[in-house]
Amino acid sequence: MLSVDKLTKVYKTGDKALTDVSFTVPKGQVVGLIGPSGAGKSTLIRCVNRLVEPTEGTVRLNDLDITRLRAGELRRARRRIGMIFQEYALVERLTVMENVLSGRLGYVPFWRSFTRRFPGEDIAKAFRLLDRVGLSAHADKRADALSGGQRQRVGIARALEQDPELLLVDEPTASLDPKTSRQIMRLIVEICRESGLPAIINIHDVVLAQQFADRIIGLQAGRVVFDGPATGLTEAVLTQIYGEEDWTAMRQAAAEDEAAEAEQRDEAKKMMRAL
Amino acid sequence: MTDTAAPVSPGMSPGTYPTRWKRPPQMIKSRFWRYALAIGALVWLVLALGTIEVNWQRVMVGMERGQRFIAGFLQPDFTTRWRDISTGLIESLTMTLTSTVVGVLISIPIGIGAARNVAPRWIYAICRGIIAVSRALQEIIVAIFFVALFGFGAFAGFLTLTFATIGFIGKLLAEDIEDIDESQAEAIRATGASWFQLINYAIQPQVMPRLIGLSLYRLDINFRESAVIGIVGAGGIGATLNTALNRYEYDSAGAVLLIIIAIVMISEYSSGYLRRWVQ
pLDDT at B8: 52
DSSP A59: E
Cα B24 from chain centroid (whole Å): 36
Does residue B71 surpass a pLDDT of 90?
Answer: no
DSSP A142: B
Residues of chain A contacting B184 with CB distance shorter than 8 Å: 89-92
Sort strands A64-65 and A223-229 into parallel, antiparallel or unpaired: unpaired
Q: Positive or negative, the Cα torsion across A258, A264, A270, A273?
A: negative
Test B183 with A114 for CB contact under 8 angstroms.
Answer: no
pLDDT tens for each residue of A204-259: 888 888 889 999 999 988 899 999 998 888 888 888 888 777 777 777 777 777 77
First to last CA, chain B: 48
pLDDT at B14: 59
Q: Which of B1, B2, B186 lies at the smallest CB-CB distance from A51?
A: B186
Q: Which of A49, A80, A113 lies at the smallest CB-CB distance from B200?
A: A113
Test A92 with B205 for CB contact under 8 angstroms.
Answer: yes
Cα A3 from chain centroid (whole Å): 17
Are the CB atoms for A186 and A172 separated by under 8 Å? no
Sort strands A166-170 and A199-202 into parallel, antiparallel or unpaired: parallel
Mark out chain A residues that contact chain B at CB-CB < 8 A. 49, 51, 75-81, 83, 85-87, 89-94, 98, 102-107, 110, 113-114, 155, 158, 162, 168, 243-245
Give the CATH number of domain B78-278; options: 1.10.3720.10, 3.40.50.720, 1.10.8.640, 3.40.640.10.
Answer: 1.10.3720.10
- Locate the domains of chain B by residue range: 31-64, 78-278
Test B200 with A114 for CB contact under 8 angstroms.
Answer: yes
Are the CB atoms for B132 and B191 separated by under 8 Å? no
- Locate the domains of chain A by residue range: 2-244, 245-275
Residues of chain B contacting A94 with CB distance shorter than 8 Å: 201, 205
Cα A65 from chain centroid (whole Å): 22
Test A114 with B189 for CB contact under 8 angstroms.
Answer: no
DSSP A95: B
Select the residue from A52, A75, A86 to test the B interface by mutation, using most B Cβ atoms within 10 A.
A75
Task: Decide if the complex's ipTM is over 0.90.
Answer: no
DSSP B200: I
Taking the CA of residue A168 and the nearest CA in chain B, the distance in Å comes to: 10
Are the CB atoms for B180 and B206 separated by under 8 Å? yes
Sort strands A215-220 and A166-170 into parallel, antiparallel or unpaired: unpaired
Does residue B13 surpass a pLDDT of 80?
Answer: no
Does residue B11 surpass a pLDDT of 70?
Answer: no
Q: Which of B2, B184, B197 lies at the smallest CB-CB distance from A105?
A: B197
Residues of chain B contacting A158 with CB distance shorter than 8 Å: 187, 191
pLDDT tens for each residue of B172-193: 999 999 999 999 999 999 999 9
DSSP A115: T
Test A93 with B208 for CB contact under 8 angstroms.
Answer: yes
Please determine, looking at this structure, whether the domain spanning A2-244 carries the CATH number 1.10.10.10: no
How far is residue B198's CA from residue B117's CA, in Å, rounded to a whole number? 12
Does residue A193 surpass a pLDDT of 80?
Answer: yes
Q: How many helices (H) and strands (E) does chain A have?
A: 10, 10
In 3D space, the residue among A174, A129, A190 whose CA is nearest the CA of residue A155 turns out to be A129
The model carries a pTM of 0.81
